[in-house]
Amino acid sequence: MLLAVDVDYRDRSAFIAGVAFENWQDAIEKSVFRSRLDDIEDYISGQFYRRELPCILKLIEEHELVPDLIVIDGFVYLDGKSRPGLGKHLYDALQGKISVVGVAKRPFNDIAQECELYRGASKKPLYITSVGIPLSEAKDHIKSMHGEYKIPALLKKADRISKTMP
């Protein structure tokens, strides 16, 4: 199982959505999971993981999920290679048993050009980072995902679900 996750923040609460699918090209998810976490950390630039990591772990634990790979909205490595971001912290929290692919919409400071991926007719790239699988493979997977626009359809769905949770 592959799992795309996204988190929406409102006041001191986080609304976490997970969209499970079997194959990278799937147009429709297999399952949807929702969780809520209250009293979350404040956002600190460059330390986003402190806020979002507990949210993703809550979703995984609450629903007893054991995916083969998790796709996050963000970075595995902030520079694309060595400076740990949310995805690397998630990978470590899961004892390196689950690969993580980060899909970011905007660059972070020194992100390597090799992390850029153009999808659809977009003139702006996504920034792909990974741990547990090679970057080239992660980029191929994200490029192959269903949807004709910059953001793959199932990633967009996870975002939409997190934003519409009560």
Chain-centroid distance of CA 85 in Å reads 11
Q: What is the pTM of this model?
A: 0.96
What is residue 126's three-state secondary structure?
A: strand
- Residue 51's CATH number: 3.30.2170.10
Task: Give the span between the Cα atoms of 150 and 105, in whole angstroms.
Answer: 9
C-beta neighbour count of 133 within 10 angstroms: 15
Q: How many residues does the chain have?
A: 166
What is residue 78's three-state secondary structure?
A: coil
What is the span of the domain harbouring residue 75?
Answer: 2-164
Task: Give the span between the Cα atoms of 23 and 94, in whole angstroms.
Answer: 22
Q: Find all residues with CB under 8 Å of 113, minimum gap 6, and list them.
A: none
Output the tens digit of pLDDT for each of the chain's 166 residues. 999 999 999 999 999 999 999 999 999 999 999 999 999 988 887 788 999 999 999 999 999 999 999 999 999 999 999 999 999 999 999 999 999 999 999 998 889 999 999 999 999 999 999 999 999 999 999 999 999 999 999 999 999 999 999 8
User: How many folded domains does the chain comprise?
Assistant: 1
* Distance between first and last Cα of the chain: 27
Which one, of 30, 18, 22, 17, lies nearest residue 2 by Cα? 22
Which helix (DSSP H) or strand (DSSP E) does residue 130 occupy?
A: strand 126-131
